């Protein structure tokens, strides 16, 4: 039967429409008519086909209907609509197979890929450097959040497993395969091995403030304790009953003349009020009269000593105290040196000079 879709099936078959049903075959399923009883043999097979033009028309109709649904689906939009090339496969396979083998995996790939990126973004947000890093790509982050309205933190492992099992296959999105791999590495807390296998490195992400703090510790560890926030070692408390968790960068080992120090990986002029309040709170907690900021400097600046005020502008009796101060103490970074060995030698000299300056100020 050709072009069967051109007519109404019930009118074409009439009473025979029921007789050809597999459940009504044979004598038991005879259909009485005004002329005779009709029945279809159990062995009867019926074949119907469409010509190429009709197949193409059906493909276009199905594609249009599916793309309407995609555009209206949360987490997807018109950018995820399916092209005609997929539906041309209907020349050789039926729609059920097209859906199960091609379309459904593709749409699931879209969704899982965006969900993976969203989980990675949320993971980075909880890092110390997270908000500053993501602020540099706020428009892209906003787009990812908008595309993943069903995000659920509890589904993270499920999304990881789905992306590990199903790597990106679609040709248009294949360039994002490296992004998929990087997201998986971040979410699984794995390291990206440089120069190993087929993996490529497009950049290195590190916490410069933390590295600076640890470098300062390598210089001053003989005179300061070093609570470690990342390793949750040496934690201190502001209040009784274990309340007010704090991690001062450095607490002097001399309990008689306690000193607090804070490593700041930023220029001297960027050390401001929030930094002052933090160190002053630590100083008050440990009965310290002096506090330091260790920062990198490019020149040869003198230490900036700031004496804490007493009094109030209301009583017009503000004056500098002589017993409590904050000191901005810079570590000089060598400049204008092209030879690495000369640079490291100058760094060693500057480390000695830096430590001597601290010891003099602590007296």
Buried b (16+ CB within 10 A) or exposed e, 1-30: eeeeeeeeeeeeeeeeebbbeeeebeeebb
Residue 248's pLDDT is 96
| CA angle at 132 for the pair 128 and 137, rounded to the nearest 5° | 130
Residue 171's pLDDT is 46
CA distance 37 to 27: 9
Q: What does DSSP assign to residue 255?
A: S
- Give the count of beta carbons closer than 10 Å to the beta carbon of residue 283: 21
Nearest Cα to 159, choosing from 132, 186, 178, 141? 186
CB contact at 8 A, 16 and 61: no
* pTM strictly above 0.75: no
- Name the stretches of the chain with pLDDT < 70: 1-18, 22-24, 29, 33-35, 47-58, 73-77, 79-80, 85, 108-109, 111-112, 166-176, 190-205
CB contact at 8 A, 151 and 115: yes
Residue 321's pLDDT is 95
Token couple for 105? 């995996």
Which residues make up the CATH 3.40.1350 domain(s) of the chain? 208-362
Architecture of domain 208-362 in CATH? Answer: 3-Layer(aba) Sandwich (3.40)
Residue 298's pLDDT is 86
Residue 228's pLDDT is 92
Residue 77's pLDDT is 65
């Amino acid at each position: 039967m050709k072009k069967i879709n051109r007519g109404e099936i019930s009118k074409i078959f009439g009473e025979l429409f029921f007789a050809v049903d597999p459940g009504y075959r044979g004598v038991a399923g005879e259909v009485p008519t005004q002329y005779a009883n009709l029945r279809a043999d159990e062995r009867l097979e019926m074949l119907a086909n469409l010509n190429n033009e009709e197949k193409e028309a059906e493909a276009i109709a199905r594609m249009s209907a599916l793309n309407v649904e995609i555009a209206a689906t949360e987490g997807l939009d018109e950018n995820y609509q399916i092209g005609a090339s997929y539906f041309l496969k209907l020349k050789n396979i039926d729609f059920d197979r097209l859906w199960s083998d091609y379309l459904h995996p593709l749409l699931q790939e879209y969704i899982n890929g965006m969900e993976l990126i969203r989980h990675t973004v949320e993971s980075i947000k909880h890092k110390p450097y997270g908000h500053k890093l993501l602020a540099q790509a706020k428009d892209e982050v906003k787009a990812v959040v908008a595309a993943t309205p069903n995000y659920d933190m509890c589904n993270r492992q499920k999304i990881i497993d789905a992306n590990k099992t199903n790597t990106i296959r679609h040709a248009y999105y294949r360039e994002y395969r490296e992004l998929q791999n990087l997201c998986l590495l971040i979410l699984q807390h794995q390291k990206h091995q440089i120069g190993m296998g087929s993996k490529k490195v497009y950049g290195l992400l590190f916490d410069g403030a933390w590295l600076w703090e640890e470098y300062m510790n390598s210089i001053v560890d003989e005179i300061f304790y070093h609570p470690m926030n990342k390793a949750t070692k040496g934690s201190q408390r502001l209040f009784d009953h274990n309340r007010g968790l704090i991690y001062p960068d450095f607490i002097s080992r001399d309990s008689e003349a306690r000193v607090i120090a804070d490593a700041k990986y930023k220029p001297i002029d960027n050390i401001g009020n929030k930094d002052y309040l933090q160190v002053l709170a630590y100083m008050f907690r440990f009965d310290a009269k002096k506090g330091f900021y260790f920062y990198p400097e490019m020149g040869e600046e003198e230490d900036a000593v700031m004496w804490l005020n007493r009094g109030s502008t209301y009583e017009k009796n503000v004056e500098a105290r002589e017993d409590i101060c904050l000191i901005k103490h810079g570590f000089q970074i060598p400049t204008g040196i092209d030879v690495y060995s000369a640079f490291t030698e100058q760094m060693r000299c500057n480390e000695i000079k830096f430590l001597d300056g601290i010891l003099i100020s602590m007296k």
